[in-house]
Amino acid sequence: MKTNFDVVIIGGSYAGLSAAMALGRALRDVLIVDSGKPCNRQTPHAHNFITHDGDKPATIAQTALQQVLDYPTIGLKSALALGAVKEDNLFKIMTDDGVFTARKILFATGILDIMPDIPGFDDCWGISVLHCPYCHGYEVRNEPTALFANGEIAYEFGKIINHWTKELTLLTNGPSQLTPQQIADLRRHKINIIEEPLTEVVHEGGYLRNLRFADGSSLKVNAIYAKLPIQQHCSLPQALGCELTEAGFIKIDEFQSTSVAGVFAAGDNTTMFRSLPIAIAAGNKAGALINHQLIQEDF
């Protein structure tokens, strides 16, 4: 297998594959390095994505990969990227299955949701424990629903979820950090607030059946929205010197460039707007702009 490329893309999900297609169509030698652990691997259906509404995310990704690899200048390495350094005008990328060099790197590595230590919570993630009403809200509209959050984000997100269902309960999982006015606003909209710590998410195959709390009480809901802390799924951008935003996303400019010359980023690792079409659009844009930069350097 060749080891030198125009571009190495770390992360082979929707943003990475979209960027690879744009670069392959621009006649660039591209290597996709992917460890095979997308954040939506448990999610049964994708929504709010025209032409693919209701399709399985894994099926969409597999079709995309097949189409991308039809371009002869694109290769795939199923491996974990372990390190990256810049030497002269090239980047050296170390993986657990070889070392590769490239003129440019694109990080399409997504983010990691930090799950609470609550039995059953992780098992339901992406199935009945949800992050986005635009992706999943229609399917659980008007159903008994919980929101797992606290403080300002709970208040603001509660307003949004209340649009999809009026049967909403806010779970602060401990003492409320809401202001008296926020509590009054939520209760005025008949949003119940439970401060008791959540101890178990009872489910069958990822589908919610019941919630249990520290005081022995329970609550039956069909879905939970959760606002969880996040971190970068891959630490290599920071190791190369890429700046992060206050929210923990990779800082990019309008050209998908990071704060390090020659390093680009696209997808969930750059924005709080997490959806397949947004990631795909960002990847397509990144691929075109990387090619444009290469052309400018070579002309």
CATH 3.40.50.1370 fits 115-226, yes or no: no
Q: How many CB atoms neighbour CB 245 within 10 A?
A: 12
Architecture of domain 4-112+229-298: 3-Layer(bba) Sandwich (3.50)
Largest CA distance in the chain: 70
136: amino acid identity, one letter: H
Following DSSP, what letter does each residue of 186-225 receive, concatenated?
A: HHHTT-EEE-SPEEEEEEETTEEEEEEETTS-EE--SEEE
Beta strand spans in the chain (E): 4-10, 30-34, 74-78, 81-87, 90-95, 98-107, 111-113, 129-130, 145-148, 168-171, 192-194, 198-204, 207-213, 218-219, 223-226, 230-232, 263-265
Of 58, 63, 77, 6, the residue nearest 264 (C-alpha)? 6
Measured distance between the N- and C-terminal CA atoms of the chain, rounded to whole angstroms: 28
Per-residue pLDDT tens for 161-205? 999 999 999 999 999 999 999 999 999 999 999 999 999 999 999
Per-residue pLDDT tens digits for 56-67:
988 999 999 999
Question: Domain-by-domain residue ranges, the chain?
Answer: 4-112+229-298, 115-226
Phi, psi of 121 (to 5 degrees): -65, -50
**Cα–Cα dist 1/8, whole Å:** 14
Task: Output the tens digit of pLDDT for each of the chain's 299 residues.
Answer: 789 999 999 999 999 999 999 999 999 999 999 988 776 777 888 888 999 998 998 899 999 999 999 999 999 999 999 999 998 889 999 999 999 999 999 999 999 999 999 999 999 999 999 999 999 999 999 999 999 999 999 999 999 999 999 999 999 999 999 999 999 999 999 999 999 999 999 999 999 999 999 999 999 999 999 989 999 999 999 999 999 999 999 999 999 999 999 999 999 999 999 899 999 999 999 999 999 999 999 99
| Identical topology for domains 4-112+229-298 and 115-226 | yes
